[in-house]
Amino acid sequence: MSKTPVTPVQVTGTVLTTRRVDAYHALTVVAPGIVERFRPGHFVGVAVGGPGTSMLTRRAFSVHDVKPDYGGTVEFVFTAGGPGTTWLAERRARDTLDLVGPLGRPFPLPRDPVTCVLVGGEYGSAMLFAVADALQRRGCRVDFVLGAASADRVFGALRARRMGETTTLTTEDGSLGMRGRVTDVLPGVIADVRADAVYACGPMETLRGVTAVAVEFDIPVQVAVEERMACGIGVCMTCVLPVIGDDGVTRMVRACVEGPVFRGERVRFDDVGTIPFDALGAPGGGTRHAG
């Protein structure tokens, strides 16, 4: 587990390519400085709207891929939903983007060549390929379980098939792979491949299910959470969730600095979106006033 934080940098990057991948958009940006420091699990904070924008918060995207071309490129995947991501989806090659990164705590990697199941929900799977690459370089066996609501929302199925020993796909509407959710097939996959560890990224509900399965098998699980952030660098205090620390105390920790990667069993998924009564500094424990 790495405790040495990587110093992030702010760069004005140039968009190299834009592409549509089924329901998603992918942007490749020339961002020297970020690439050298990147480790799997890191994310970038992207300013949206251009100079003089009325959108003040940065959008956080996990890094899908880094390449050494053109001094270093970063690729991230997103859906165009609100005004910020819609603006991003309209970027074209040679446009500039303001990026801060790499941010967050990356995935810890096992020292020994073990068998790892990588679980991705929706476009959360985008960040898993860098993890898979790092694991394989350590001699680990990698198996994928990817799932989404429908076939066009399963990200990276082809690449998973290429990289993984096995790849299991699930869709809720049955349009690709097995009908159901990743958590329906995960116990079977873990048993079949005799997995030693699970890595997961996706919506909170998926991570909660994946963690429950891993706990049942008594194997370690690392999850990367997708919390809404305003700054990504740890100053705005908006992306907090209840996580149990080494000392057994639950704290409201920032997904951007203490995360986004956590040990699954340490995250109190049932209490996300609340302040658990036994959290450090919870109302009633000390001063009661709000601010």
- 7 versus 218: smaller Cβ distance to other proteins: 7
CB 28 to other proteins: min, Å? 23
Quote the CA–CA distance of 66 and 38 in Å, as a whole number.
8
CB 234 to other proteins: min, Å? 4
- 144 versus 262: smaller Cβ distance to other proteins: 262
Q: Which two tokens stand for residue 96?
A: 């500039």
Q: How many residues does the chain have?
A: 291
Residue whose token pair is 């959360």: 124
CB 100 to other proteins: min, Å? 7
- 178 versus 282: smaller Cβ distance to other proteins: 282
Catalog residues that contact other proteins under the rule CB under 8 A: 5, 7-8, 10, 47, 54-58, 84, 98, 100, 227-228, 230-231, 233-241, 251-252, 257, 272-275, 279-283, 285-291
Contact partners, residue 220, CB within 8 Å, separation at least 6: 196, 197, 198, 214, 263
Mapped onto helix, strand or coil, the DSSP state of residue 178 is strand
Give which of 197, 199, 201, 231 is closest to 217, Cα–Cα. Answer: 197
CB 55 to other proteins: min, Å? 6
Contact partners, residue 105, CB within 8 Å, separation at least 6: 2, 5, 41, 257, 258, 259, 260, 261
- 30 versus 272: smaller Cβ distance to other proteins: 272
Quote the CA–CA distance of 16 and 26 in Å, as a whole number.
11
CB 48 to other proteins: min, Å? 10
CB 289 to other proteins: min, Å? 3
- 5 versus 174: smaller Cβ distance to other proteins: 5
- 8 versus 120: smaller Cβ distance to other proteins: 8
CB 273 to other proteins: min, Å? 6
Quote the CA–CA distance of 272 and 208 in Å, as a whole number.
10
CA–CA distances in Å: residue 61 to residues 42, 44, 101, 185, 194: 9, 6, 10, 27, 32
Q: Which two tokens stand for residue 114?
A: 């073990």
- 223 versus 272: smaller Cβ distance to other proteins: 272
